[in-house]
Amino acid sequence: MKLHALAFSLLLAAIGTPALAAPKPFLWENATVYFMITDRFQNGDTGNDLAYGRKGDAAPLRGMMGGDLKGVTAKIREGYFDSLGVNVLWLTPPVEQIHAGTDEGTGKTYGFHGYWARDWTAVDANLGTEQDFRAMVDAAHARGIRVLLDVVMNHTGPVTDTDTVWPSGWVRTEPTCTYKDAPTTTLCTLVPNLPDVRTESDTPVELPDFLAAKWKLEGRYEREVKELDEFFARTGYPRAPRYYLMKWHADWVRKYGIDGFRGDTVKHTQPGVWKELRAVAEAAHTDWKRANPSRVLGDAKFFMVAEVYNYNIVHGHKFDMGGGEYWDFYDNGFDSLINFGLVHDAKQDYESLFSKYSAQLHGPLKGYSVLNYIDSHDDGNPLDPSRNKPLETASKLLLAPGAAQIYYGDETARRLDWPQAEGDAKLRSDMNWQELAQNAQRDGYRIAEVRQHWSKLGQFRQLHPAIGAGEHAKLADQPYTFTRTLKRGAIDDKVVIALEAPTGKPLPVSVAGVFKDDAKLRDHYSGASYSVKGGKVLTTGRYATILLAPAAKEARRDN
């Protein structure tokens, strides 16, 4: 799981990844988000690989594999994410998980993925310590990279012989959801043995005995109770389950300067819960900014993106909950929703995809955004599980209007179809560092060539907010050429991109209506510079991807 910094530096030099230029001001609508299962990414400390008595007895790809916060921090400091143009990190929830394993029907599974909380106030020891988490966030911020906290308001972890169920005032353990309408999607458990938090309740509850006892053993009971008392006195909220969780999640913002939330299983709670959470989180973010004025990034807007399972960009503001009921999650605290549609839309041609997304984002969704992806940790139908076309998938993801989510290993063609694993575990293998270091050969490509393509597109995207946030217009069919333009405040950004261009001889590319004759342009894919003549530039024809922008007009880093 380990690739030394020296090996990585030599690899980048070998594949010719261009040096980073200073990006233009950061916009969440153009963010490039790197999403990782922390346990599967990089092992920075082998001493924490099996905490709480956990064992190596899980089903294939369902146990703890050793990835941790120190590993992530090492990759940040090494420049791994900078080289991809990544400006946001989303890690799976770092909170303490249930200690034992459980079988959901696919073999024994531990909470390696972070979505089985036992204590929302603590870092899971398999991932490291509070100091490790702080170091990771600080390292990211030092490079202008924002951090999203993955927030689970809907459920606790499963019940095991070791992990008792939360009190009945906190959770329900039945019925199981049938997803026919809003009540059968929210007032139920997602699957058997996944207790559902009573987020709809306003009835006060006491701390669970097991949690109070745990805090006493850890020597922090008085402090935690004092903070809870102060929170409820300050806000006037009842001591209902959802408000405890809001306080605990906001503490991560107040303590570490988290930049935003990714809401998990959002449609399975009442929509107003998230608007309330946003208010609590923004107050915490304000406190952190006041205490750390020199560490604030950009305009420091707190950001929230929702996982509303099966939301598609064409749904706009209306998501069908069934039973004739539609919910608007944008109106309930979220700036963006994860777009489950790209894995299907990416099978279309470029123009159909790009024009459709631009029309939605500059029409019904104006002022909001979506987070696009081609594969993820729980989508059983990824776009390219065998990684047969990793270059095309990169182009469709990173050049589609909207924000982009890179799932760890997209950039290194990590396989998503592991035959020895069952269910979503197929999607969750270890990061393929060894293949990258060895520049492994696949059918038709090498791993380093794939990463180079992702790197060039990602860095160009980071430099030019028009790619994700600007308006799209086609310029030519042969080669397929388009422009993105954005004028907002001090931002005046425009690019021209050609895809799947023929190679082997000089190729004219149309830029008419975007760049004037004699304008000096740089191709960020090849590194070549050109002058516009007769509304075109005559490119070298060396590469099938052409990324044109004005030369020597880069704004300073927004950090």
| The pair of three-digit structure tokens given for residue 14, joined into one six-digit string | 């070998």
Give the chain's length: 559
Instruction: State yes or no: is 282 an active-site residue.
Output: no
Q: In this structure, is the dihedral angle defined by the CA atoms of residues 428, 433, 436 and 441, taken in order, positive or negative? A: negative
Nearest CA to 259 out of 306, 307, 308, 296 is that of 296
Contact 76, 144 (CB under 8 A): no
Q: In this structure, are strands 171-172 and 146-151 parallel, antiparallel, or unpaired?
A: unpaired
Contact 52, 99 (CB under 8 A): yes
Three-state SS annotation for 520-540: EEEECCCCCEEECECCEEEEC
| Gap between the Cα atoms of 340 and 311, Å rounded | 6
The beta-strand segments (E) located in 102-258 are: 102-103, 108-109, 117-123, 146-151, 171-172, 196-197
- Catalytic hit among 307, 345, 375, 410: 307
CA-to-CA dists, residue 302 to 85, 196, 234, 257, 439, angstroms: 21, 27, 21, 10, 39
| Gap between the Cα atoms of 428 and 353, Å rounded | 28
- Catalytic hit among 68, 124, 132, 264: 264
Nearest CA to 483 out of 469, 500, 466 is that of 466
Instruction: State yes or no: is 264 an active-site residue.
Output: yes
Q: In this structure, are strands 491-499 and 480-488 parallel, antiparallel, or unpaired?
A: antiparallel
| The pair of three-digit structure tokens given for residue 227, joined into one six-digit string | 């903070």
| The pair of three-digit structure tokens given for residue 113, joined into one six-digit string | 């993925």
Q: What single-letter DSSP state applies at residue 176?
A: B
Nearest CA to 350 out of 472, 183, 263 is that of 472
Contact 345, 318 (CB under 8 A): no
Helix ranges (DSSP H) in 267-332: 272-291
Helix (H, G, I), strand (E, B) or coil at 288: helix
Contact 140, 78 (CB under 8 A): no
Nearest CA to 31 out of 105, 86, 95, 97 is that of 86
Residue 194: what residue type? L
| Gap between the Cα atoms of 342 and 216, Å rounded | 48
List, in order, residues 6 or more apart from 72 with CB less than 8 Å away.
36, 38, 41, 42, 44, 89, 91, 136
Q: In this structure, are strands 88-91 and 32-36 parallel, antiparallel, or unpaired?
A: parallel
Helix (H, G, I), strand (E, B) or coil at 128: coil
| The pair of three-digit structure tokens given for residue 297, joined into one six-digit string | 């990034």
Buried b / exposed e along 71-93 (16+ C-beta atoms within 10 A): bbbbbbbbebbbbbbbbbbbbbb
Would you tell me the crossing angle of helices 241-256 and 272-291 to the nearest 10 degrees? 30
Q: In this structure, are strands 88-91 and 146-151 parallel, antiparallel, or unpaired?
A: parallel
State the catalytic residues: 264, 307
